[in-house]
């Protein structure tokens, strides 16, 4: 008896332990073994921000020498491949897309209007085919065949006019006519819509830095770290109002020309307008425009590309100074059920669908401003990008504005456009960032 | 006398048919059930696309507002059931990983769950027809 008890106990222990083992395998709740992190878009930018003590979003003035800073990250990808002749225009547009996305985040932080609505549309139509109704009704009221035909024609004419409004045409093939009638048989549509709209005038939103990823066979992906601060805002407003006495002074740095990236690998990945502090502690806005020539080996086409990149750089300074950003998105959800009559049989169908539209629009304007071209560099085609990249570096400075005012009545001003080739190989990496004195 | 009766019959028929077509069997009822407007500021906002099949996609737009509210169709509080304008019930909580877990009970009482990772720009949608990872979030 004792033996039997011991044996039963052993068997029970064995069963329990095997069950326990299976249970723990099935419901493993140890979080460390179940999750891992994959590199996410924008993670390089997040790391960069961490190193300089900033975070995406609002940054408290207490931690930034009294300066209110908002940081936004945006991403955009190029539509052309790296071996395309228009790659640098595509990269620049990817940068613009990413910057616009970053700006839309800031605009939405400032405030949005959300409207959400719900609608229900019920349609019912048990009407049989129109011809049948006419025949049935006319036969009831008249026995005379010729009279019958006359009345039928008259009523049909009236009917055709009425049904045309519903999309029914008597001359259409029978199948098409039935389709129209099918549509209005019975339907129940539920629709809910959420609209988000934001609009803000931006002044002083700049590109802090850019990250560019370009894996072999993949299209270029650009991450922009955009920044807005009260000092940048004051600078932009001063440029707009031409009131240079109110520009907050900065700690003097090296001359701007020495601060501009000299490494072609960095310069090729430097986009947009940035604030720099010059050797006199004055704040200047420097912008980097990019364009590729239509064909390689043609000096005239390269010159055209450089003109285009200069225009792009000037446009970036304009957007830094005075820009209106509009953001709208609409997410609609539809839930439709329909009762159809197909070949005399009733059919029920239903479908659910969503529709999403997002639009970000930006308009910039700057009147009577003075720009100086600091430098123009060309990075020739290489193993990463097939086409040459002409980079125009344009700046706005208070000293330039003062000089312009002094020279306003003079003529024959010199254009200090310079052109220098560069044969170094390019590696994709982080672009240059302006002054960190926000 | 018969002629007069015939004329009246025709007139009656025409009026009957016109009335019949304009009113009797066809009707459209359009109801705007509810409408709400909010003024909010977003600290974080994310739009995610889920590829359920090659042809069928699902899109969600979620966010966090300055006032600490969660946004999905409408802004609402965390850890509290919310009856939306679109007649759904939302419940959102933050899990120990820092992700947001949103439970949606729709008008047909069907439940779907969305796990939202704002930091890594990812989301997971769980519905009765399966689990779907976000194809892209931006």
Q: For residue B43, list chain A residues with Cβ-Cβ distance below 8 A.
A: 57-58, 109
What is the mean pLDDT of the segment spanning A213-237? 86
Range(s) of the domain holding residue B97:
42-137
What is the pLDDT at residue A27?
A: 32
User: How many CB atoms neighbour CB A175 within 10 A?
Assistant: 8
> Cβ B96–A124 below 8 Å, yes or no?
no
> Cβ B47–A162 below 8 Å, yes or no?
no
Assigned domain for B103 exists? yes
Question: For chain B (length 138 residues), average pLDDT per consecutive 10?
Answer: 65 56 60 87 92 82 94 95 93 94 93 93 91 90
3-state helix, strand, coil in chain A (%, to 5): 35, 30, 30
Q: Could you read off the pLDDT of A30-58 as tens digits, one per residue?
A: 434 444 444 555 678 888 888 888 998 99
Which tokens hold the place of A266?
Answer: 């960095």
What is the pLDDT at residue B48?
A: 93
What is the pLDDT at residue A416?
A: 41
Assigned domain for B7 exists? no
> Cβ A114–B107 below 8 Å, yes or no?
no
- How far A150 CA sits from the closest chain B CA (Å)? 10
pLDDT band for A186, please (50, 70, 90 cuts): confident
Q: How many CB pairs under 8 A join A and B?
A: 157
> Cβ A118–B44 below 8 Å, yes or no?
no
- Which residue did the predictor score with more confidence, A436 or A379? A379
What is the pLDDT at residue A47?
A: 86
Which tokens hold the place of A142?
Answer: 């008249």
* Residue tagged 């009577």 (tokens): A368
Q: Could you read off the pLDDT of A285-302 as tens digits, one per residue?
A: 999 999 999 999 899 999
- How far B33 CA sits from the closest chain A CA (Å)? 5
Lowest mean pLDDT among A6-10, A14-18, A103-107: A14-18
What is the mean pLDDT of the segment spanning A253-258? 89
What is the mean pLDDT of the segment spanning A10-38? 42
How is the beta sheet containing B26-40 ordered, strand by strand? A345-364, A323-342, A186-202, A112-125, B26-40
User: Can you give the residue ranges of every domain in chain A?
Assistant: 2-34, 44-117+199-328+361-407, 127-184
Please check the confidence at residue A150 and state whether its pLDDT lies above 80: no
Q: For residue A46, list chain B residues with Cβ-Cβ distance below 8 A.
A: 119
Which tokens hold the place of A5?
Answer: 């008890």
- Is A206:A275 a contact under the CB 8 Å cutoff? yes
What is the pLDDT at residue A422?
A: 33
pLDDT band for A3, please (50, 70, 90 cuts): low
What is the pLDDT at residue A322?
A: 92
Cβ–Cβ contact A31 with B under 8 A: yes
> How far is A388 from A84, CA to CA, in rounded Å?
11
Cβ–Cβ contact A196 with B under 8 A: yes
Cβ–Cβ contact A154 with B under 8 A: yes
Assigned domain for B88 exists? yes
Residues facing residue A205 across a β-bridge: A228
What is the pLDDT at residue A315?
A: 94
- Is A181:A335 a contact under the CB 8 Å cutoff? no
Residue in A122, A154, A333 nearest the CB of B29: A122
Please check the confidence at residue A24 and state whether its pLDDT lies above 80: no
Could you tell me if residue A231 is left (phi over 0), alpha (psi between -120 and 50 degrees) or otherwise beta? alpha
Assigned domain for B9 exists? no
Please check the confidence at residue A124 and state whether its pLDDT lies above 90: no
Lowest mean pLDDT among A199-203, A204-208, B28-32, B63-67: B28-32
Q: What is the ipTM of this complex?
A: 0.78
Instruction: List the single best residue of B17, B25, B134 to mutate versus A (max A Cβ within 10 A).
Output: B17
Looking at chain A from residue 109 to 148, which residues have their Cβ under 8 Å from any Cβ of chain B? 109-127, 130, 133-134, 137-138, 141-142, 147
Assigned domain for B133 exists? yes
Alpha-helical segments (H) within A214-371: 230-241, 256-259, 264-267, 299-321
User: How many CB atoms neighbour CB A21 within 10 A?
Assistant: 10
Looking at chain A from residue 395 to 424, which residues have their Cβ under 8 Å from any Cβ of chain B? none
Q: Could you read off the pLDDT of A332-355 as tens digits, one per residue?
A: 988 888 887 666 677 788 878 888
The DSSP output letter for A200 is E
Instruction: List the single best residue of A118, A197, A335 to mutate versus B (max B Cβ within 10 A).
Output: A118
Q: Name all contacts of A334-338 with Cβ < 8 Å and 24+ positions apart.
A: A334/A189, A334/A190, A334/A191, A335/A189, A335/A190, A335/A191, A335/B107, A336/A187, A336/A188, A336/A189, A336/A190, A337/A187, A337/A188, A338/A185, A338/A186, A338/A187, A338/A188
> How far is A255 from A416, CA to CA, in rounded Å?
17
Residue in A122, A155, A184 nearest the CB of B14: A155
What is the pLDDT at residue A20?
A: 42
pLDDT band for A67, please (50, 70, 90 cuts): confident
What is the pLDDT at residue A163?
A: 64
Assigned domain for B11 exists? no
pLDDT band for A90, please (50, 70, 90 cuts): very high
Please check the confidence at residue A62 and state whether its pLDDT lies above 60: yes
> Cβ B120–A43 below 8 Å, yes or no?
yes
What is the pLDDT at residue A4?
A: 54
Measured in degrees and rounded to the nearest 5, phi and psi for residue A391 equal -110, 120
- How far B66 CA sits from the closest chain A CA (Å)? 8
- Which residue did the predictor score with more confidence, B58 or A402? B58
What is the pLDDT at residue A424?
A: 36
pLDDT band for A81, please (50, 70, 90 cuts): confident
Q: Mean of the per-residue pLDDT values for chain A?
A: 78
pLDDT more than 90, % of chain A: 37
Model pTM score: 0.73
> Cβ A358–B47 below 8 Å, yes or no?
yes
Residue in B38, B96, B107 nearest the CB of A114: B38
> Cβ B42–A154 below 8 Å, yes or no?
no
Number of domains comprising chain B = 1
> How far is A286 from A397, CA to CA, in rounded Å?
9
What is the pLDDT at residue A175?
A: 66
């Amino acid at each position: 008896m004792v033996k039997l008890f011991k044996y039963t106990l052993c068997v029970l222990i064995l069963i329990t332990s095997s069950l326990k083992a299976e249970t723990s395998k099935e419901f493993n709740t140890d979080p460390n073994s179940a999750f891992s992190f994959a590199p996410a878009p924008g993670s390089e930018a997040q790391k960069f921000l961490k190193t300089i003590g900033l975070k995406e979003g609002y940054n408290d003035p207490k931690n930034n020498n009294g300066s209110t800073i908002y940081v936004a990250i945006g991403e955009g990808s190029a539509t052309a491949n790296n071996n395309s002749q228009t790659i640098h225009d595509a990269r620049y547009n990817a940068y613009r897309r990413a910057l616009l996305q970053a700006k839309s985040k800031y605009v939405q932080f400032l405030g949005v209007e959300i409207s959400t609505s719900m609608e229900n549309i019920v349609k019912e139509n048990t009407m049989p085919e129109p011809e049948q109704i006419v025949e049935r009704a006319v036969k009831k009221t008249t026995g005379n065949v010729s009279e019958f035909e006359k009345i039928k024609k008259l009523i049909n004419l009236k009917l055709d006019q009425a049904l045309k409004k519903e999309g029914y045409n008597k001359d259409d093939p029978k199948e098409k006519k039935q389709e129209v009638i099918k549509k209005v048989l019975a339907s129940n549509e539920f629709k809910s819509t959420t609209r988000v709209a934001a609009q803000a005038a931006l002044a002083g939103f700049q590109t802090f830095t850019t990250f560019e990823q370009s894996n072999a066979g993949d299209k270029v992906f650009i991450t922009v770290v955009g920044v807005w601060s009260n000092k940048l805002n004051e600078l932009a407003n001063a440029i707009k109002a031409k009131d240079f006495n109110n520009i907050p002074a900065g700690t003097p740095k090296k001359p701007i020309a020495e601060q501009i990236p000299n490494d072609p690998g960095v310069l090729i990945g430097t986009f947009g307008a940035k604030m720099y502090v010059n050797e006199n502690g004055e704040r200047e806005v420097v912008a980097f425009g990019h364009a590729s020539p239509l064909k390689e080996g043609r000096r005239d086409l390269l010159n055209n590309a450089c003109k285009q990149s200069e225009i792009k750089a000037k446009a970036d300074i304009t957007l830094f100074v005075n820009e209106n950003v509009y953001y709208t998105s609409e997410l609609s959800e539809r839930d439709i059920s329909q009762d159809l009559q197909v070949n005399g049989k009733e059919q029920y169908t239903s479908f659910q669908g969503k529709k999403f539209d997002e639009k970000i629009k930006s308009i910039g304007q700057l009147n009577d401003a003075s720009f100086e071209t600091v430098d123009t560099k060309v990075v020739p085609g290489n193993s990463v990008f097939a086409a040459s990249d002409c980079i125009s570096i344009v700046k706005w400075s208070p000293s330039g504005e003062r000089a312009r005012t002094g020279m306003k009545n003079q003529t024959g001003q010199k254009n200090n456009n310079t052109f220098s080739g560069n044969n170094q190989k390019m590696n994709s990496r982080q672009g240059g960032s302006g002054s960190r004195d926000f | 006398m018969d002629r007069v009766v015939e004329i009246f019959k025709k007139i009656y028929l025409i009026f009957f048919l016109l009335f019949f077509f304009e009113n009797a069997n066809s009707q459209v009822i359009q109801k705007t059930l509810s409408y709400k407007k909010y003024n909010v500021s977003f600290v974080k906002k994310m739009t995610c696309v889920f590829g359920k099949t090659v042809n069928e996609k699902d899109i969600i737009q979620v966010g966090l507002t300055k006032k600490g509210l969660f946004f999905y169709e409408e802004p609402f509080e965390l850890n509290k059931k919310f009856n939306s304008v679109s007649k759904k019930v939302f419940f959102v909580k933050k899990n120990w990983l820092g992700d947001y877990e949103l439970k949606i009970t729709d008008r047909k009482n069907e439940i779907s769950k969305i796990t939202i990772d704002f930091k890594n720009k990812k989301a997971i949608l769980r519905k009765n027809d399966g689990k779907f990872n976000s194809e892209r979030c931006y």
